[in-house]
Chain A
């Protein structure tokens, strides 16, 4: 089996699994309990928090453990919008966000907030100029993802942070779920106020994630309860998940730059190979300007149902996905590709190939070979339907 769907979820690292099971067996006490066992569990959590803080050159108090990317994004977007409503009710995000950001903003619209959804340019990136033009004196939050989960386009986070530094009252959230462990990130230097990370995207366990929230921010909690995580995220902390995720994050972040180099090489091999398939359209750019994430390639074979290709490859023992896993079961065009200006035909036919640490050049070549073969076989069907 050749698995190329790391953007949906990654195979957990064996060391992470070991941590998970050992901590789960040994530290089952509730970390809020005052007895020794509870304290030991709590200490492990504090150590995990300190580790995340050090990896991103931040402070331990700035990290909140959540149940994953979706919760981190909801807490950031809704938490800031509700807490700073007295300053204004205008929010800005993009049309290419992950549903956990996009739908959070949709929900806020129901609450009476006004939301601007920025489009993406043809290269898959949002324009800082258009963002600047959308700012108003009622704007309280800007949320832009770091790496788009469908196309892999890297958004100009540093540039946006620089723009927003002139507006200290506008807070800046970045969904970093697809960027963590792949790109080097300077939260303080870029002026990012909130940053979401998910553990299972970087060989950690599912059900565990982080929200970085810069010191001094007020967040209105989404969950009510026992006031864990300084009241920002009630619920008994997922001790084994938190510790195992810390390990996964450490391994991912400490090797990010080597991973980037290695994957970029594989990525250009892949895009070069895909370019040989007639009719195939690669979204975004070839990555040479450094604006594409190293681990994602998104392409379309217009006129062909992407599920057919996914299932055909599956029969060959190769796993890829259609757009993003979170929306791939719905038979709808990709909102992200539409926001980039693609036609409906292109937007309903996208495929996503995402790379992991285990891949080699031979794996890439095999994928190219099989996909070329399948595309050639199916091409007549596409042509017939288009008539």
Chain B
């Protein structure tokens, strides 16, 4: 494996935001330092909308993988540092090209001579380094217009810097720079993906999960904790609100409007979430809804359900196809957890034919007939358990002595 000396990290669209720019960059820098906390030898330096990460012997591959989870980073490049001399730069160029196998490709050298006393100018360096690489790698050809590989050489007084790779970052905004929202986290495939997309857009997220123990199992609870843990990897930590929903759910099941039970449940969930949002200072609710996917996600259902809340409902996946959502979930490593077959409260008491076009008037009448509903909603908020989930935590049920067993 090639030994790189530093990683250049480049930021995304937020660098355009005039007055907020420095706040974003500061948050960005903090996120990077948190993500790389396990690599103590690293030194990170900020410079003109970029961060230079000096590896000092830390493994670049793992560092880049960590960085790829940090929102706001658009691209990064592992860089080889060498003496600012032609021979050393040429040798570094060959090392930088090692990552490519010997299939024919086009390339070009882009040299930049920041240190003007260096004996060859930028154009001359392009030829001197390019020719040298070509002789060593005869399968390459030069294309200065649209090369597959751009080998970049920067000559400064203290060192030469050489790199050829541009690795994609997660993109988006630094975590938490666009405010706070609550995420409805069900345990299915969609909601973790929706949460990740919301976080990538700079939202700070707290997750809300509804459980109906003993109709739902402890495994369902652990599953959602595990999903929250996987999301927490991108923020450094996440709050999970576990709302007791058994009483409300059994009450709604008792009104004998089977085809409306999902609609009624979802409305109750939004009302509870809205109350939690108020306490937590969150300004929106994020859901994993995808238009038409199930009965509660038809346009008719989204309308009747959505009216239960006055907060903005953010639905990152509303126009996304299922297969694309699955691809995201696999990338986030939440898919395998999401498909574990534990019943959650959304799959409980599901009628044979739920309404795809619920009638607003009937829904409101049913709700009005439940005199204790408001009290039950308040009780659910009061009974909510809040867990602080961290990326490295194994499981919450474990007692303190357990670590010593391993």
Q: A43-B397, A47-B394 are in contact. Are A19 and B218 (CB under 8 A)?
A: no
Q: A22-B405, A23-B405, A44-B405 are in contact. Are A36 and B395 (CB under 8 A)?
A: no
Q: Which residues of B contact A19 (CB under 8 A)?
A: 404-406
A247 contacts B406, C-beta separation under 8 Å: yes
A43 contacts B398, C-beta separation under 8 Å: yes
Q: How far is the CA of A34 from the CA of B402 in the complex (A)?
A: 21
Q: How far is the CA of A242 from the CA of B395 in the complex (A)?
A: 18
The one of B218, B402, B404 in contact with A39, judged by C-beta atoms closer than 8 angstroms, is B218
Q: How far is the CA of A44 from the CA of B402 in the complex (A)?
A: 9
Chain A, 250-277, CB within 8 A of any chain B CB = 250
1/0 contact string of A47-60 vs chain B (CB within 8 Å): 11001000000000
1/0 contact string of A8-27 vs chain B (CB within 8 Å): 00000000000100110000
Q: Which residues of B contact A51 (CB under 8 A)?
A: 406
B397 contacts A243, C-beta separation under 8 Å: no
B397 contacts A48, C-beta separation under 8 Å: no
Q: How far is the CA of A213 from the CA of B100 in the complex (A)?
A: 30
Q: Which residues of A contact B246 (CB under 8 A)?
A: none
B397 contacts A40, C-beta separation under 8 Å: yes
Q: Which residues of A contact B395 (CB under 8 A)?
A: 43
Most buried by A among B217, B219, B394, B406: B406
Q: Which residues of B contact A250 (CB under 8 A)?
A: 406
Q: How many of chain A's residues have a CB under 8 angstroms from any CB in B? A: 17
Q: Which residues of A contact B397 (CB under 8 A)?
A: 36, 39-40, 43
Q: How far is the CA of A50 from the CA of B142 in the complex (A)?
A: 47
B406 contacts A36, C-beta separation under 8 Å: no
Nearest Cβ on chain A to B397's Cβ, whole angstroms = 6
Q: How far is the CA of A77 from the CA of B287 in the complex (A)?
A: 50
B405 contacts A243, C-beta separation under 8 Å: yes
Q: Which residues of A contact B5 (CB under 8 A)?
A: none
Q: A22-B405, A243-B406 are in contact. Are A39 and B394 (CB under 8 A)?
A: no
Interface assignment of A246: CB less than 8 Å from any CB of chain B: yes
Q: How far is the CA of A44 from the CA of B395 in the complex (A)?
A: 10
Q: How far is the CA of A23 from the CA of B405 in the complex (A)?
A: 8
B218 contacts A36, C-beta separation under 8 Å: yes
Nearest Cβ on chain A to B335's Cβ, whole angstroms = 14
Q: Which residues of A contact B218 (CB under 8 A)?
A: 36, 39
Q: How far is the CA of A244 from the CA of B406 in the complex (A)?
A: 7
Most buried by A among B394, B397, B398, B402: B402
Interface assignment of B343: CB less than 8 Å from any CB of chain A: no
A39 contacts B405, C-beta separation under 8 Å: no
B406 contacts A246, C-beta separation under 8 Å: yes
1/0 contact string of A25-49 vs chain B (CB within 8 Å): 0000000001010011001100110
Q: How far is the CA of A23 from the CA of B397 in the complex (A)?
A: 16
Q: In chain A, what residue has the closest Cβ to B398?
A: A43
Q: Which residues of A contact B405 (CB under 8 A)?
A: 19, 22-23, 44, 243-244, 247
1/0 contact string of B364-406 vs chain A (CB within 8 Å): 0000000000000000000000000000001101100110111
Chain B contact-residue range equals 10 to 19
Q: How far is the CA of A23 from the CA of B398 in the complex (A)?
A: 13
B217 contacts A34, C-beta separation under 8 Å: yes
Q: Which residues of B contact A43 (CB under 8 A)?
A: 394-395, 397-398
Interface assignment of B258: CB less than 8 Å from any CB of chain A: no
Q: How far is the CA of A247 from the CA of B406 in the complex (A)?
A: 5
Interface assignment of B222: CB less than 8 Å from any CB of chain A: yes
Q: How far is the CA of A130 from the CA of B406 in the complex (A)?
A: 43
Nearest Cβ on chain B to A254's Cβ, whole angstroms = 12
Q: How far is the CA of A223 from the CA of B345 in the complex (A)?
A: 38
Q: How far is the CA of A51 from the CA of B406 in the complex (A)?
A: 8
A48 contacts B219, C-beta separation under 8 Å: no
Nearest Cβ on chain B to A166's Cβ, whole angstroms = 16
1/0 contact string of B298-319 vs chain A (CB within 8 Å): 0000000000000000000000
Most buried by B among A19, A23, A34, A39: A39
Q: In chain A, what residue has the closest Cβ to B403?
A: A47
Q: In chain A, what residue has the closest Cβ to B395?
A: A43
Q: How far is the CA of A116 from the CA of B398 in the complex (A)?
A: 50
Nearest Cβ on chain B to A10's Cβ, whole angstroms = 19
Nearest Cβ on chain A to B343's Cβ, whole angstroms = 12
Q: How far is the CA of A346 from the CA of B222 in the complex (A)?
A: 61
Q: How far is the CA of A34 from the CA of B404 in the complex (A)?
A: 25
Q: Which residues of B contact A47 (CB under 8 A)?
A: 394, 406
Q: Which residues of B contact A22 (CB under 8 A)?
A: 401, 405
Nearest Cβ on chain A to B36's Cβ, whole angstroms = 19
Q: In chain A, what residue has the closest Cβ to B397?
A: A40
Q: Which residues of A contact B394 (CB under 8 A)?
A: 43, 47
Q: How far is the CA of A246 from the CA of B222 in the complex (A)?
A: 23
Nearest Cβ on chain B to A40's Cβ, whole angstroms = 6
Most buried by A among B217, B405, B406: B405
Nearest Cβ on chain A to B68's Cβ, whole angstroms = 18
Q: In chain B, what residue has the closest Cβ to A43?
A: B395
Q: How far is the CA of A39 from the CA of B223 in the complex (A)?
A: 12
Q: How far is the CA of A247 from the CA of B398 in the complex (A)?
A: 17
Nearest Cβ on chain A to B402's Cβ, whole angstroms = 7
Chain A, 48-86, CB within 8 A of any chain B CB = 48, 51
Nearest Cβ on chain A to B230's Cβ, whole angstroms = 14
A39 contacts B406, C-beta separation under 8 Å: no
Q: How far is the CA of A39 from the CA of B394 in the complex (A)?
A: 14
Q: How far is the CA of A19 from the CA of B219 in the complex (A)?
A: 26
Q: How far is the CA of A44 from the CA of B218 in the complex (A)?
A: 16
Q: In chain A, what residue has the closest Cβ to B405?
A: A19
Q: How far is the CA of A34 from the CA of B220 in the complex (A)?
A: 12
Q: How far is the CA of A125 from the CA of B404 in the complex (A)?
A: 40
Q: Which residues of A contact B402 (CB under 8 A)?
A: 44
Q: A39-B222, A40-B397, A43-B398 are in contact. Are A48 and B406 (CB under 8 A)?
A: yes
Nearest Cβ on chain A to B324's Cβ, whole angstroms = 25
Q: How far is the CA of A39 from the CA of B217 in the complex (A)?
A: 11
Nearest Cβ on chain B to A209's Cβ, whole angstroms = 17
Q: Which residues of A contact B401 (CB under 8 A)?
A: 22
Q: How far is the CA of A342 from the CA of B82 in the complex (A)?
A: 55
A39 contacts B398, C-beta separation under 8 Å: no
Q: Which residues of A contact B404 (CB under 8 A)?
A: 19
Q: How far is the CA of A119 from the CA of B406 in the complex (A)?
A: 41
Q: In chain A, what residue has the closest Cβ to B222?
A: A39
Q: In chain B, what residue has the closest Cβ to A40?
A: B397
Nearest Cβ on chain B to A252's Cβ, whole angstroms = 13
Can you add 10 more A-B contacts, CB < 8 Å, to A19-B405, A250-B406? A19-B404, A22-B401, A23-B405, A39-B218, A39-B397, A43-B395, A43-B398, A48-B406, A243-B406, A247-B406
The 4 lowest CB-CB distance pairs between A and B, nearest first, are A19-B405, A243-B405, A43-B395, A247-B406
| A-B pairs with beta carbons under 8 Å apart, 5 shown | A22-B401, A22-B405, A43-B394, A43-B397, A243-B405
